[in-house]
């Protein structure tokens, strides 16, 4: 089962995609760039200010499903310059205070609307389910 998730507290999609899609216990959030939800414009300021806007947008999408950053299990960060890595990492760390999710960070040539950072996340709900253990089945 698939459920589209949308909130006015985060920027509207700028293309044919959803802010997030819920499937079972997982919420797959589309990448967020530093758009102000009210104006639809890229926020001014340095990479730290842009990263905060991105993470605030993600927080709004998570809240729409009753989730928080503690629910996030995987993030992907896209940067137009890996020279911004440390500044982004510092802001990122202030949102993920404990039990940090798995993460990938990659440099890209360009991002929509000239953004310098984009972050996407996957979150898991805390619904009761049987604990499962991963096993090596390679033989």
Residue 118 pLDDT > 60:
yes
- Alpha-carbon span 107 to 100, nearest angstrom: 21
Q: Between the CA of residue 112 and those of 18, 41, 69, 78, 139, what are the distances in Å?
A: 16, 11, 24, 11, 45
> Mind listing the pLDDT tens digit for each residue in 33-68?
999 999 999 999 999 999 999 999 999 999 999 999
Q: How many residues does the chain have?
A: 139
Q: What is the pLDDT of residues 13-38, one digit of tens each?
A: 888 999 999 999 999 999 999 999 99
139 or 2: whose pLDDT is higher?
2
Q: What is the pTM of this model?
A: 0.89
pLDDT band (50, 70, 90) for residue 1: confident
Walk me through the domains of the chain, giving residue ranges and CATH numbers.
2-124 (3.30.1330.40)
Cα–Cα–Cα angle for 117, 123, 129, rounded to 5 degrees:
170
């Amino acid at each position: 089962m698939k459920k589209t998730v949308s909130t006015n507290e985060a920027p509207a999609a700028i293309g044919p995609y959803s802010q997030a899609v819920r499937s079972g216990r997982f919420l797959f959030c589309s990448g967020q760039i530093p758009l102000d939800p009210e104006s639809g414009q890229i926020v001014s300021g340095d990479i730290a200010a842009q990263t905060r806007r991105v993470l605030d947008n993600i927080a709004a999408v998570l809240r729409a499903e009753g989730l928080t950053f503690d629910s996030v299990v995987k993030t992907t960060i896209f940067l137009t310059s890996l020279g911004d890595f440390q500044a982004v990492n510092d802001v990122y760390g202030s949102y993920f205070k404990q039990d940090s999710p798995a993460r990938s960070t990659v440099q890209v040539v360009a991002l929509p609307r000239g953004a310098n950072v984009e972050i996407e996340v996957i979150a898991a709900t805390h619904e009761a389910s049987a604990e499962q253990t991963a096993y090596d089945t390679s033989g």
